[in-house]
Chain A
Amino acid sequence: MAGLEIPTWDPETALLIGTILLEAIVLYVGYGGLERLFGPYLMKLLVGGDADAR
């Protein structure tokens, strides 16, 4: 059976996982900013009138 493995340092894999981590943080901040900027406008468009963005 394939034995339990102690993680070894692999720069390419670390870069791969780091890229995913960075993408997640950028998406959290980016979508948050977009929500603040365009949220109220989008809510008006979808609901009509003066509904507040939730």
Chain B
Amino acid sequence: MLDSLLGGAGILGTSPEMLALFVGFGLVVGVLFGFFGMGGSFLVTPALLMLDYEPSVAVGSGMAFVFGTAVIATLKHHDLGQVDYKLGAIMITGTTIGIEAGRASVYYLESLGLAGGIISVAYVVLLGGVGAMVTRDALKSNGGGGIDHEAADKDLDEYEIPEIAKTIQQTVRIPPMVTLRGDVRVSVWVITAVAFATGLLSGFLGVGGGFIRMPAMIYAIGVPVPVAVGTDLFEIVFSGGLGSYLYGQGGGVNLGIVAPLLFGSALGARIGSAATAVVDADGIKIYFGGMLLIGAVAVGIGEIGSYLGNPTLELLGLVLVIGAAVVVAFAILYTTISSLRQERHQGTTVTD
């Protein structure tokens, strides 16, 4: 059975060059995920689509990669006590139904021959929208987009519930009500609605959905930021695991893609996470927003190239999407090492 798994799923079928590319790309994606706390899966599915993988393989393998990344990140957040298991358990139902609806839509569109185009267009809108939001916030310098590193260090009791969350908690009081970590009391139906909407997105695009679910948990449900991050990851372990299983049954998960991506991203996430202790995220956030916008343009160019049958345009799209991620990851590493060297130099000067 293992032979068929390895051979059929493609770990032996993937060339050494592609394995090296996936490990390297995983490393870059891991650094971004570890540093910004989001964006882990944004670039994987579009890149696979541009590498001419079937839409169901690109989305299924992207989702399996998200699943593996979420397992690693949840283990870390569990150690820090930042996972609300009750909230996670409630969200699983809504997300599961949402993912299954999204997945069924992908296979339906694939049967019509429209999946690649529609998923690419959805990515252009998504990357462009989130990229514009993050860039605008970075220009305003008021945080937003990704994890607020300073906020993540506060005690749970110190968090103020956003006004909009208070309004939702006071307006939507359909029983049953539950009490969550950080003394938040909210209707189960609000949690389920948030879970379904983000699950639908996950199933359709093969993304974790954290970039929507995290803000939704903070602003619609009202949970503290670190709990939103930890619980989101815990929830992705289940939703991503189930989604990967369903895609895997249809032959949509390629271990030859997922294993090397995960190998690189697990290391990259450690580096990115360690860098947050040294570098101020706000300074680099604008590059992250820019990277997402370039990603949107790249997917658009790749799709036009594919439509026109122009391989140069397809290659340009792929180079742009990977190049933008590499540039931002290197900017993080360079700034981190420079800051550490500067700190050491200042320490030495003071001692002298």
Chain A: residues with CB nearer than 8 A to chain B? 1-5, 7-8, 10-17, 19-21, 23-25, 27-28, 31, 35, 43, 46-49, 51, 54
Contacts and interface: CB of A to CB of B under 8 A. Distances in A.
Majority secondary structure, B binding face: helix
Contact of A16 (B5, B266, B344): B5
B9 A16 contact: yes
Contacts of A25: 71, 75
Interface stretch (B86-94, B172-180, B247-255, B292-300): B247-255
Given A16-B9, A20-B262, A21-B241, A5 B1 contact: no
Majority secondary structure, A binding face: helix
Interface residues of B, number: 47
Contacts of A2: 104-105, 107-108, 111
B72 interface: yes
B67 A7 contact: no
A40 to B, nearest CB: 13
Given A10-B249, A24-B72, 14 more contacts: A2-B107, A4-B100, A8-B249, A13-B245, A13-B253, A17-B241, A17-B253, A20-B258, A21-B68, A24-B67, A24-B69, A27-B267, A35-B270, A51-B340
A28 B4 contact: no
Given A13-B245, A13-B249, A19-B255, A3 B104 contact: yes
B139 interface: no
30 contacts: A1-B104, A1-B108, A2-B111, A3-B104, A4-B97, A4-B100, A4-B104, A12-B4, A12-B5, A13-B253, A15-B5, A16-B253, A16-B255, A17-B64, A17-B241, A17-B245, A17-B248, A19-B255, A19-B259, A20-B64, A20-B255, A21-B241, A23-B68, A24-B68, A24-B71, A24-B262, A27-B263, A27-B267, A47-B344, A48-B341
Contact of A31 (B5, B107, B270): B270
B274 interface: yes
Point out which of B9, B64, B108, B248 has the most chain A C-beta atoms below 10 A from its C-beta. Answer: B248
Contacts of B277: 54
Contacts of B105: 1-2
Interface in B251-289: 253, 255, 258-259, 262-263, 266-267, 270, 274, 277-278
A47 B341 contact: yes
A17 B241 CA distance: 7
B111 to A, nearest CB: 7
B171 interface: no
Interface string B57-76: 00000001001110110011
A10 B5 CA distance: 13
A33 B104 CA distance: 41
Contacts of A5: 100, 103-104, 246
